[in-house]
Amino acid sequence: MEKKKKDIVKMLLNQNLDQKDEEEIINLLVDMPISLDVDKEIDEKMTFGDKVADKLSAIAGSWSFIIGFSLFLLFWIILNGVILFKAVDPYPFILLNLLLSCLAALQAPIIMMSQNRQAKKDTIRNKNDYRTDLKSELILEQLYDQLNEVLKNQKKIMNYFKNGDDKK
């Protein structure tokens, strides 16, 4: 079992270590907390622009935005196509097309910035999960070894009393 632990630690660190260093690293992994709150860590590093981009992405990706914007488009078309005698933006609604193009040109990079930040957060979360899983595996192996040792000692004790009873 000990070899598995060493192999796991070597995989984690991608370097060859001597016996003493390996044991120290295993003890550190087992004894110290290694998990972290990814959301808190990322939120502390966010700039004002990052926060604004995330809020805008949340709004632009909601049903209320889609429904509200669809109602705005319908209102614009009815107002300029039917109601106003001298329309601000007559058919084929060139001003509306310009507004939509500007909105799309600004909205796409903002959403992409938010997605990139979320991808970074997911990467950090995955690394944290790996470290936590590695620690759990090391602890389970250690417990397994200790349980096997207890079972061996228990068999020795039982054999001692069994053989001792036979001699009486």
Cα–Cα separations (whole angstroms), residue 79 to 33, 46, 84, 89, 103 = 63, 42, 6, 9, 20
- Greater confidence (38 vs 29) lies with 38
Mean pLDDT of 35-54: 85
Higher pLDDT, 147 or 33: 147
Nearest to 77 by CA among 104, 97, 62, 101: 97
> Among residues of the chain, what percentage have pLDDT more than 70?
77
Pairwise CA distance, residues 48 & 127, whole Å: 26
pLDDT given for residue 1 in this prediction: 44
What is the domain partition of the chain in residue ranges?
A: 1-32, 37-136
Mean pLDDT value of segment 34-41: 76
* CA-based end-to-end distance of the chain: 40
C-alpha to C-alpha distance for 115 and 138, rounded to whole angstroms: 34
Output the CA torsion 150→152→156→157 (10° steps): 20
Q: What is the pLDDT of residues 55-110, one digit of tens each?
A: 999 998 899 999 999 999 999 999 998 888 888 999 899 999 999 999 999 999 99
Which pLDDT belongs to residue 111?
A: 92
Token pair 């250690």 in the structure block, residue: 142
How far is Cα 76 from Cα 90, in angstroms, rounded to an integer?
10
More confident of the two residues 19 and 50: 50
Nearest to 35 by CA among 126, 163, 161: 126
How far apart, in whole angstroms, are the C-alpha atoms of residue 130 and residue 134?
Answer: 6
